[in-house]
Amino acid sequence: MLLDAEQLEDGALLEAKVIIAGGGMAGLLLARQLGDAGIDVLVLESGGQSQDARVQSMYAGKMTLGGPSNSQRTMDGYLIASRVRCLGGSGNVWGGKCAPLDPLDFERRDWIAHSGWPLTRSTMQPFYDRACDVLELPHFSVDAQAMTGAPEPLFASGPRRFTARPRGYTRCSGAVANSTYQDYKVAAANHERVRIYLKANLTRIEMSEDGERVAALDVRCLNGRTHRARAHTYILAMGGIENARLLLASSDVHRNGIGNHSDWLGRGFQGHAVIEKEGQTSVQLLRNSAVLAPFDVMNRSKVHIVLGASDDTQRALRGVNFTVTLPRAIGAVTGAPAAALAVAKKLASASTSERREAYFMIEHTPNRESRLSLIRDELDELQMPRVRLDMRFGAAELDRFMPTLAMFASELGRCEAGRVQWRGGAEDLVASMSLSRHHMGATRMAVSAKSGVVDEHCRVHGVQNLYVAGSSVFPTSGIANPTLTLLALALRLSDHLRGRIST
């Protein structure tokens, strides 16, 4: 049932067994799952059924992007442009690309500080499979890097230093042709156990006096009315930035914010950055482009190839995730590069060749200096402190970019498959970055409150009835698009709660 919080009489009390804050992809899936178990669910969604500039302006804040020896960039607009505050959340503008995290992404890597999940890829596999079912995608095998049975003609021999990285594309996303995302929203809204209040903004989590339970939520509407919401269990599913913002802002009992036992709340923020220079980032294949077909494993409407450093390569280089994406063919080079490629072509006895546009991605590792914080003296229309995001890439990834790219270039050359175009060093990577809408890590998962905000069941450490859903719980982020993983975690959380909440 879709309801409008602005139409409630001022001071209303909303109650349910479970309250989910946020009606995005994770929140709506959780609502359906819990509703299927006979649990009454209340979803509090800040926005309406479509985007509204006034509502969206609540996302405004300050942001910088930087890294060691790189010039810092101011990117305030990113905070508004990279997310959507209405029913369906950022799923409304999502392109539908799906991939699981790799086994190594879940492991502790002794060369990467703060790496490792309290979960393994094997533990997650059944939930990944179910998330794929929700999105109507084929399942990804545990060892998706292997592409069992598929030829890999680009790297035909020798060690498998780089492999194809399968990506799936779902229609259950707002920004694709023939989208089924409206059905996804309607399925939650029409569920007999689910009530969705639109235009219901959370402004505070009220804790019990002992600080161990959530007592209620403060709800505020843009028409000035305020309400209270009370439940047995609360789930924050407001997105990778807002989850941390509300926990930080709710500081009347826990002075540093709820779940902030070790000063990790807001820290370890990660994003996925595309690295490219217009017209200067490409791969010249020394083969007919037909050799790419096996890499186009999910057969999207256009060929979209992702090649990545294997887990073995990352271990060998003590490096991080690195991918090269080859979206489309582009025009041939001229001048000196053309002469260089003519020589390469002759040496490889290549009768045909094709230049592909390319972009690189490198994993953003957990970094305490990459953080969200509150600007206490700048409030939005709901009197919530605005957010400040200082997104920092570290030497752990920036210094590994060039060695990994060089290995990729060497592998292409060794297999007579092509040459790579890129000029620059670690010092101009930040300037070459464009950021995706992926916001991860600000309420990181860890076994202990000493090193994270939520436990392996996404429960906030030290709070018995408060959970967090979404990519903010990712301790590391790999390079895979986060939606499949956050949906898998939502399914796992719903299973966990089903056994603990009486109907």
Partner 1 sequence: MNKHMDRRGLLRLLAGLGAAVVVDQRLAFGASATCSGVFGELDEAAIAELGREYLSQRSDAAAVDAIAKLLAESQDEAKTLEQLRARVLADFTAGRIVNLAGWFVSETEGCVFAALSRCASEV
346 is an interface residue for partner 1 by CB under 8 A: yes
To partner 1, the closest distance from the beta carbon of 412 in angstroms equals: 8
d(CA 449, CA 453): 6
Q: Is 410 in the site for partner 1 (CB under 8 A)?
A: yes
Residue indicated by tokens 């030497």: 395
Q: Is 416 in the site for partner 1 (CB under 8 A)?
A: yes
Q: Which of 348, 382, 431, 449 binds partner 1 (CB under 8 A)?
A: 348
The distance of closest approach from Cβ of residue 159 to partner 1 in the complex, given in angstroms and rounded to an integer, is 10
* Closest C-alpha to 104, from 83, 122, 92: 122
C-alpha 249 chain-centroid distance: 23
* Residue 407 touching partner 1 (CB under 8 A): yes
Instruction: Assess 339 for contact with partner 1 (CB under 8 A).
Output: yes
> In whole angstroms, how close is the CB of 439 to partner 1 at the nearest point?
33
Among 113, 156, 332, 406, binds partner 1 (CB under 8 A): 406
Restricting to residues 155-194, which ones interact with partner 1 according to CB under 8 A?
A: 158
Q: Which residue has the tokens 């000196």?
A: 336
Please work out the total of residues on this chain that contact partner 1, with binding judged by CB under 8 A.
Answer: 30
DSSP state of 457: T
CA 273 – CA 164 distance, rounded (Å): 19
The CA distance from 205 to 258, in Å, is 9
Strand-pairing partners, residue 194, are: 41
3-class SS of residue 253: coil
Q: Confirm if 216 and 230 have CB atoms less than 8 A apart.
A: yes
- By CB under 8 A, tell whether 53 contacts partner 1: no
| CB distance 151 to 403 below 8 Å | no
Q: Name which position in 62, 160, 300, 414 contacts partner 1 (CB under 8 A).
A: 414
422 phi and psi, to 5 degrees? -175, 135
3-state secondary structure of 289: helix
Q: What are phi and psi of 98, to 5 degrees?
A: -130, 140
Which residue from 118, 413, 456, 496 is in contact with partner 1, where contact means CB under 8 A?
413
Give least dist CB 273 to partner 1, A: 21
C-alpha to C-alpha distance for 94 and 171, rounded to whole angstroms? 10
Within residues 256-285, the interface with partner 1 by CB under 8 A covers 280, 284
**Quick one: which segment of 29-37, 52-60, 236-244, 421-429 binds partner 1 (CB under 8 A)?**
421-429
Choose, by CB under 8 A, the member of 149, 331, 335, 499 that binds partner 1.
335
Q: How far is the CB of 329 from partner 1 (least distance, A)?
A: 17
> Nearest-CA neighbor of 404 among 295, 308, 273?
308
CB of 336 to partner 1, least distance (A): 4
List all residues 6 or more positions away from 159 whose beta carbon is below 8 Å from its beta carbon.
312
Q: Under the criterion CB under 8 A, does residue 422 sit at the interface with partner 1?
A: yes
If you ran DSSP here, which 8-state letter would residue 332 be given?
P
Q: Is 310 in the site for partner 1 (CB under 8 A)?
A: no
- List helix spans (H) across 163-284: 181-189, 242-249
Binding mask 132-161 for partner 1 (x = CB under 8 A): --------------------------x---
d(CA 403, CA 320): 11
Candidate ranges 48-56, 123-131, 218-226, 411-419; the one touching partner 1 (CB under 8 A) = 411-419
Give the DSSP H/E element, type plus range, for residue 317.
helix 311-317
Torsion sign (Cα): 171, 177, 178, 183: positive
- From the CB of 359, what's the least distance to partner 1, in Å? 15
Beta carbon of residue 278, minimum distance to partner 1 (angstroms, whole number): 13
Q: Where does this chain touch partner 1 (CB under 8 A) — which range of 186-194, 217-225, 391-399, 401-409?
A: 401-409
Tell which one of 37, 81, 317, 344 touches partner 1 (CB under 8 A). Answer: 344
**Angular region, 469: left φ>0, alpha ψ -120 to 50, beta rest:** beta
Options 65-73, 115-123, 177-185, 410-418: segment touching partner 1 (CB under 8 A): 410-418
Contact region with partner 1 (CB under 8 A), list: 35-43, 66-74, 199-207, 404-412: 404-412
User: What are the residues binding partner 1 (CB under 8 A)?
Assistant: 158, 280, 284, 335-344, 346-348, 405-407, 409-411, 413-414, 416, 419-423
